């Protein structure tokens, strides 16, 4: 890899695409040239990067000539079509979609958890699902000290997880609701203002689990390299613009105390403890938004488990940053 690689952003006009560029700039990523790629309808638009104006180009099969690293966030179908083309042209692809996550030959990477897998890539590295990242960044250091046998998660997922159009729908539907106007949802299946509903991914009619939940279960096992870990999860969409929250209860192989968990997480990479019982101040999307750490709080004994093996906690992380763009840029930093 060049010391100053040429980087392409695929899906540059989307919510995550914009965060790719912001992360590269804020973290002073040592790139030589930035290419911004999007659909034909966005070609010719511009974006600012390090004080320069970048003209957005149409994504084509010839877009990757001279590209060293390609950051993809344009949906699974685009990744499946263009990622192999980018690899053939000589680029390393870091893909934010679900297209390659469960491919045994593709590393599924959270840099705080399994950075060693990056060097095993064969041209493509997969970014995990945002809910998976939010849960596993704080769970991994605990798992290393005292193996986690079972984890139960309930998510509170922001509109950012469904893209810029869903964020706009939340804003517009809320405005309409407050003004007493009707608003027909176009992006999400249910009214979004002042409402919560089951995550909008497809539900398996046999198991009752939706695609988002299945992703977290499978990805956790792959990243932890532990097919025996038991994962139960319910994913819910909430009327928050960005930053997901998760209520997590985990059961360890040996007894564990809340003080031990705090000690483990106090110096864990990518984690910030926000756990003030006196002020009733715990992780919130408003605090998680715009920064890269996973906020962890409400750390307490699970009173339903008399064996002392289980802990409950509440976490929040910015879906657009650590849940997507930041995680990918951290992977790119390992490459250079």
- Taken in order of first residue, the domains within the chain and their CATH numbers are 6-128+324-335 (3.40.50.720), 132-319 (3.30.360.10)
What pLDDT, on a 0 to 100 scale, did the predictor assign at position 42? 92
Quickly list DSSP for 122-189: SSEEEPPPHHHHHHHHHHHHHHHHS-EEEEEEEEEE-GGGG-HHHHHHHHHHHHHHHTT-----SSSS
Whether residue 1 has pLDDT greater than 80: no
Which residue from 98, 100, 74 is spatially nearest to 16, judged by alpha carbons?
A: 74
What pLDDT, on a 0 to 100 scale, did the predictor assign at position 2? 82
| Mean local confidence (pLDDT), 188-197 | 96
What pLDDT, on a 0 to 100 scale, did the predictor assign at position 103? 97
Report if pTM > 0.85. yes
| Mean local confidence (pLDDT), 168-193 | 96
- Active site positions, annotated: 130, 244
């Amino acid at each position: 890899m060049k010391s100053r690689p040429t980087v392409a952003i695929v899906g540059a006009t989307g919510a995550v695409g914009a965060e790719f560029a912001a992360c590269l700039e804020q973290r002073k990523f040592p790139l030589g040239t930035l290419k911004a790629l999007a659909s034909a309808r966005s070609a010719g638009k511009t974006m600012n990067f390090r004080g320069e104006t970048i003209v957005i180009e149409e994504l084509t099969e010839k877009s990757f000539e001279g590209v060293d690293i390609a950051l993809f966030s344009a949906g699974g179908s685009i990744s499946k079509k263009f990622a192999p083309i980018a690899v053939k042209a000589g680029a390393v692809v870091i893909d934010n979609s679900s297209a390659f996550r469960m491919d045994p030959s593709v590393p599924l990477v959270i840099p705080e958890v399994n950075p060693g897998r990056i060097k095993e890539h064969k041209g493509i590295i997969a970014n995990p699902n945002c809910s998976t990242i939010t849960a596993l960044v704080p769970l991994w250091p605990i798992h290393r000290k005292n193996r986690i046998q079972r984890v139960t998660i309930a998510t509170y997922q922001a509109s950012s997880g469904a893209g810029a159009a869903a964020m706009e729908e939340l804003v517009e539907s809320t405005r309409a609701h407050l003004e007493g106007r009707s608003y027909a949802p176009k992006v999400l299946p249910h009214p979004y203002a002042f409402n919560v509903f089951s995550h909008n991914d497809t539900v398996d009619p046999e198991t009752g689990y939706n695609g988002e939940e299945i992703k977290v279960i499978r990805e956790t096992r792959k990243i932890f390299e532990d097919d025996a870990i038991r994962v139960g999860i319910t994913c819910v969409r909430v009327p928050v613009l960005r930053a997901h929250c998760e209520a997590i209860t985990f059961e360890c192989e040996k007894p564990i105390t809340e003080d031990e968990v705090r000690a483990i997480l106090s110096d864990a990479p990518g984690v910030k403890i926000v756990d003030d019982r006196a002020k009733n101040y715990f992780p919130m999307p408003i605090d998680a938004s715009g920064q890269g750490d996973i906020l962890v709080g409400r750390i307490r004994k699970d009173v339903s488990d008399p064996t002392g093996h289980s802990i409950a906690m509440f976490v929040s992380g910015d879906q657009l940053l650590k849940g997507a763009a930041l995680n990918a840029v951290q992977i790119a930093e390992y490459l250079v």
